[in-house]
Structure formats: structure tokens, C-alpha cells
Amino acid sequence: MEASVHNKKDRRTMKTFTTLCLSILTFSAVLTLESAKADDEFSPSRAPVEATRQMIVAGHPLAAEAGLEMLREGGSAADAAIAAQMVLNLVEPQSSGIGGGGFLLHYSAANAFVNAYDGRETAPAAATPDRFLDENSQPRSRADVIPGGLSVGVPGLVAMLELVHADHGVLPWARLFEPAIELAENGFPVSERLSRLLSEAGPDLFAASARAYFFDESGTARPSGFILKNPELADTLRRIATKGGDGFYLGEIARDIAVAVRSSATNPGDMTPQDIADYVAHRRQPVCGRYQRRTICGMGPPSSGALTILQTLALAERPFMGRQFSARALHLVAEAGKLAFADRNRFIADSDFVDIPDLLDPDYLSERRNLISTSRTMGRAEAGTPPDAPRAGRDGTRTSPGTTHLSVVDADGNAVALTSTIETRFGSRVMVRGFLLNNELTDFSFAFEDDEGSPIANRVEPGKRPRSSMAPTLVFAPEGDLEMVLGAPGGSLIIPYVVKAIIGHVDWSLDAQTIVELPNFAGRNRAFEIEERYANMPVIDQLRALGHEIRTQPMPSGLNVIIRKSDGRLEGGADPRREGMAAGD
């Protein structure tokens, strides 16, 4: 009896062993197959753009051309970024503009110094924590509060760019507006993407002036190739070119912004001309950390970008990350991302209003790193207890992908990484004097406390800046030289996009174009997210075997990257998922 039991057990053990061996063989075969397939699958659609002197990579070819024109005139990286940004306002109005805000990182080659600039929108003085609650004190839906005046924050882009120009500009301020003014007056061809996004959005939620600009009388979106003129924006830009920030923050433009916000037919807001006059852009300390002997610098609060990227990288870092797109690498990065996002969602908000604990404390990071197993997913991560952690509620704020990123390196080796936004596509859909206003205030938490009554760090408060995920980033080689300038749009997916690009360069030694085209994936403490067209990669089954729940979705990153080689040559990669272009000499 016993023998037979043993025999049965032995047979079972044998069977299990055989299955295991077969699985290992299959797993190795899959890995080998995956490697062969991966190399085919991930070869980019085009080669990176190369240059020896200067380069810009921006979200639209006309913007890249305007930036390059400034560089060729002897302009600085800051000049090129400002000129390109003004053109983006016109030709990529769904993503960014003077009605919104942004963050900019600047590297001065002469003194090897990094400056960080904060042009984030602010809540009006009348804003209160219950701004986005309904009559039953329940959070309203995002879709419900985005259109109209309530979601509009005081725009910060113009003030920030003026500050950057004062610090790092070479060409006259007014010159930087000429390409955009000329295009606004003479017209530009509507791009395929702009036309498609307008068709998808439909005319109904746009305020009247925006509807008349973007759609014909029957409500059909301007088709691709249609020459669209924007004389009102040309006039606005001319005023700012002549009067500087005062032309925007004081006088008629400010008055019209406040009127449009307050008199919006949908969700009227409470912004006053005084709120606009009071806006101040800030110089902030960049947040820097180490990864694989590199120094990586990015934007700190009110952005969660740099802290979450640096936490993810620090928690994923191993002597051997795993080869390109292996299950090991994706698992490690996703698990690290879960831990980092759990902390982000609890602790990061505008540091002028809340205390943010030291999320990069080395002891804390080692403790958190120990939570990662290489053989099984942790499922959902909880926020940790970093040193001096304040009592803070769990926050489920979501962000949308109406953002753009540009990277510049000038002939003196200075660099700019600029990420700017009007929040969701076409922002609040309210147009003033030719530009769209943002809906950035929906980046705040709609609830102000969690179920346990703990205050949510990212709750609405007067004059506060909503938490962002924008992550303009600079990477420095172990010897200290600038090595990479990058960033992306994508709401909170910006964070995994930038992580992917850094790992693609540092761990996998890929060129700038391959990096941006690699399949997008994310571990945001939800399911493992993978770009839908790569859902059938063998590695996905391996991740399932590690316990990951898989979610596929479109992930239209707009990663725009410059890599500076050790011999000084520049390599630019523009993301084909959007309409960006790299241009240089």
C-alpha cells in the first residue's frame, strides 16, 4: 500500500519534474525565440538624426524648424525652446500653449549647472478643497468638469519662459515670436493627428470661438492639409513679444481670460484678473539622483516626475537588469514602478503647501527594494513609511495626455528639456484671443480626504499648483558630461516612458530612435500595462506566469530624445507615435 503510494508519489514527482524540465526548456526556447523576435520587432522605423553642432527634437516639424532657425542665428538652447514652443501653441494646439503651463530644465555647459523652472498653473484665490465635489459631496466625473471655466488654472508658461529667457536667452525676446506670428498670419497645414483628434473630440464641448476655429459650420473637423490661419493668436503673440509677460498677465489679455473663465456657459469658474496678475514662475532646485553610475536630474514638486522616476530606477537597479525586453527586466521595472507610484500617490503634491518626506533616502530605498521578488509579482503595492512621513491620504488622481515635450542642445553645449501642457487634449476647450485655456486643475485630487479621514496631499487649495507627472530630464555620464536630454507627454505614463528611455540607453545601449520606439509598458500600481500592438509578445505570457495581470491599451508616447555621444556627436530620436521631428546641424 505504502509502496504503491510511494510509487504514485514518485510517479507524480517524476511527472512534475518532467513537466518542470519541459517548462524550463520551453521557457528557454521562448526566451531565445523572444530574443530573436525581439530584435526584429524592435528595430526602429528609421535611423536617428545625427548632428555635430546643435539639435532640437520637438513635437511638430514646424516647431523643430523654428527652433533650428534660432540656433542657426546663434541663439541659445533657451531661445530655440521658446521659439519652438510658440509654434507648438499654433500647430499642436491640443497639447500645449500660453494658456497652460510647463516645467523646464536648463543645463549651462560653461559652469555645469542645472536650473529647474516651474511654470505650473495655480488655483485661483477663491478655490476650495470641495471644488470638484457634487451636491452629495461625491467627486464629480473628470469628463463632467473638464470643459469650461472651473478646471482652468492661472497659466504659467509665459512667465516661466520669460524667466528662462532673462537667465539664458541670447537673441532678443521679440525675435523668438516671429516664426509663430508669421505662421499664424499666413496659415499652417492642419496635421493628420490634429484633424483626427478634432474628429474624435467632436465640436459639442468646445466653446463657440474654439468651435468656429477648429470646425466648419456643419461641425466637421478641419481636414488634414487645410490651411488654418489664426490672426487672433498672431495679435496676442505680438503683444507678448512687445510687452513681455506684462502683456499677458496685466491688461486686456488677462481681463479676457478671467471673463472667459467666469462667463463660461459650462462650469463657470472664479478666476479674477488679480489671480492672473499675481502669477509667479519659480526657479526650483532640480531633483537629482544616481542610476548605474549616471546622475539623473529632473523636476521636483509640484511635479512627481523626477522623484517617481528616480525611485523606480533605484528600486529596479540590479548589477544585471536583464536583457532587452526580457521578462526579468520588465518585471523588475514594473514592480519598482508599483512601489514608486504608491508613494507618489500618497505623498507628492505642491511642496509650498505640504511637507514631502525624503522618498530617495538610501535606507528607505533598500527597505523598499527588499519587497521585490524576482519570481512573483507583489500584486498591489502600499505606500511606505519614509523618514518623517506625514499623515497623508490615499489619492486616486488621474491625469490625461494633452502634453508635449521638446529637447534642445545648442552649439555651446547648453541644453533644455521643456515639457508643457494644457492637461487633456484641447484643455478646457475654452479659447481666448486665439489660444486654448488649460484644464490643469483636474490634476488635483477631487476628494480632499480619504476614507479614513486623512487629508490628501494633492487636494485643491487656493494658490496651490496641482501635482504633475511631467518629467523633463537630463542624464549625465559617470564623468559628468551631459549624455541625454529627454521627456514625454502622456499624463502619469510620462514616468514609465522616461524610465524606459533611460534604461534603453543606459542598460541596453540603444540609439535614440530605437529607445523611443521600443514597446511602451508601465507598472503604475495597477495591472501591468503594455502597448496594445505588442500584446502578443511571448514575454507577456512569461509575465502572466509571474502573476501579473496584463492590460493592453494604446500608449501614444511622444518621447523626444537627444543623446550626446562621448565624442560630442548628437543623436536625435522623435517618437513616430506622434508627429515629432529631430533636426540639427
Active-site residues: which are they?
403
491 touching ligand GLY, by CB under 6 A: yes
Q: Which residue is nearest to ligand GLY (CB)?
A: 468
> Cβ closer to ligand GLY: 284 or 564?
284
Task: Find the helix or strand (DSSP H, E) in which 476 lies.
Answer: strand 473-476
Q: Shortest distance, CB of residue 348 to ligand GLY, whole angstroms? A: 12
Q: Shortest distance, CB of residue 210 to ligand GLY, whole angstroms? A: 19
How far is it, in rounded angstroms, from Cα 433 to Cα 155? 14
How far is it, in rounded angstroms, from Cα 499 to Cα 520? 10
> Cβ closer to ligand GLY: 264 or 304?
304
Q: Shortest distance, CB of residue 468 to ligand GLY, whole angstroms? A: 3
Question: Which residue among 257, 406, 457, 470 contacts ligand GLY (CB under 6 A)?
Answer: 470
How far is it, in rounded angstroms, from Cα 527 to Cα 551? 6
C-alpha Rg value of the chain to the nearest Å: 24
Q: Shortest distance, CB of residue 156 to ligand GLY, whole angstroms? A: 11
How far is it, in rounded angstroms, from Cα 220 to Cα 210? 13
Closest CA to 159 of 119, 125, 207, 111: 119
Using an 8 Å Cβ cutoff, are 437 and 260 in contact? yes
DSSP string for residues in 399-448: ---EEEEEEEE-TTS-EEEEEEEEESTTTTS-EETTEEPP-GGGGSBSSS
Question: What are the E-state strand segments in 267-401?
Answer: 282-284, 287-291, 294-298
> Cβ closer to ligand GLY: 62 or 116?
116
With contacts defined by CB under 6 A, name the span among 154-162, 283-291, 408-416, 463-471 that binds ligand GLY. Answer: 463-471
> Cβ closer to ligand GLY: 436 or 470?
470
> Cβ closer to ligand GLY: 272 or 469?
469
With contacts defined by CB under 6 A, name the span among 12-20, 130-138, 407-415, 468-476 that binds ligand GLY. Answer: 468-476
Q: Where are the alpha helices (DSSP H) in 42-147?
A: 61-72, 77-91, 142-145
Using an 8 Å Cβ cutoff, are 482 and 114 in contact? no
> Cβ closer to ligand GLY: 101 or 179?
101
Size of the site for ligand GLY (CB under 6 A): 9
Closest CA to 441 of 206, 156, 205, 146: 146
> Cβ closer to ligand GLY: 170 or 205?
205
Q: Shortest distance, CB of residue 441 to ligand GLY, whole angstroms? A: 10
> Cβ closer to ligand GLY: 148 or 427?
427
For residue 13, which phi and psi values (nearest 5 degrees)? -60, -45
> Cβ closer to ligand GLY: 421 or 525?
421
Which three three-digit cell numbers place residue 234?
498672431
Using an 8 Å Cβ cutoff, are 184 and 178 in contact? no
Q: Shortest distance, CB of residue 526 to ligand GLY, whole angstroms? A: 17
Buried b (16+ CB within 10 A) or exposed e, 82-94: bbbbbbbbbbbbb
Q: What order do you get walking across the sheet with 560-564 strand by strand?
A: 49-51, 570-574, 560-564, 482-486, 473-476, 294-298, 287-291
Q: Shortest distance, CB of residue 61 to ligand GLY, whole angstroms? A: 24
Query: What part of residues 403-432 is at the interface with ligand GLY (CB under 6 A)?
Result: 403, 421, 423
Which three three-digit cell numbers place residue 88?
507648438
Closest CA to 116 of 106, 101, 124, 127: 106
Q: Shortest distance, CB of residue 103 to ligand GLY, whole angstroms? A: 8
Query: What part of residues 46-85 is at the interface with ligand GLY (CB under 6 A)?
Result: none
Q: Shortest distance, CB of residue 464 to ligand GLY, whole angstroms? A: 14
Q: Shortest distance, CB of residue 187 to ligand GLY, whole angstroms? A: 29
> Cβ closer to ligand GLY: 118 or 423?
423
458 touching ligand GLY, by CB under 6 A: no
Question: Which residue among 151, 264, 345, 469 contacts ligand GLY (CB under 6 A)?
Answer: 469
Using an 8 Å Cβ cutoff, are 315 and 370 in contact? no
With contacts defined by CB under 6 A, name the span among 29-37, 221-229, 367-375, 466-474 that binds ligand GLY. Answer: 466-474
With contacts defined by CB under 6 A, name the span among 2-10, 292-300, 380-388, 465-473 that binds ligand GLY. Answer: 465-473
Q: What order do you get walking across the sheet with 550-553 strand by strand?
A: 521-523, 528-531, 550-553
How far is it, in rounded angstroms, from Cα 267 to Cα 561? 38
What is the torsional sign of CA 301, 305, 309, 311? positive
CA–CA distances in Å: residue 391 to residues 350, 352, 355, 362: 16, 17, 10, 21
Torsion of CA 42, 44, 50, 54, to 10 degrees: -90
Question: Which residue among 443, 461, 483, 531 contacts ligand GLY (CB under 6 A)?
Answer: 443
94 touching ligand GLY, by CB under 6 A: no
- The binding track of 371-400 with respect to ligand GLY, each residue x by CB under 6 A or -, is ----------------------------x-
Residues that bind ligand GLY (CB under 6 A): 399, 403, 421, 423, 443, 468-470, 491
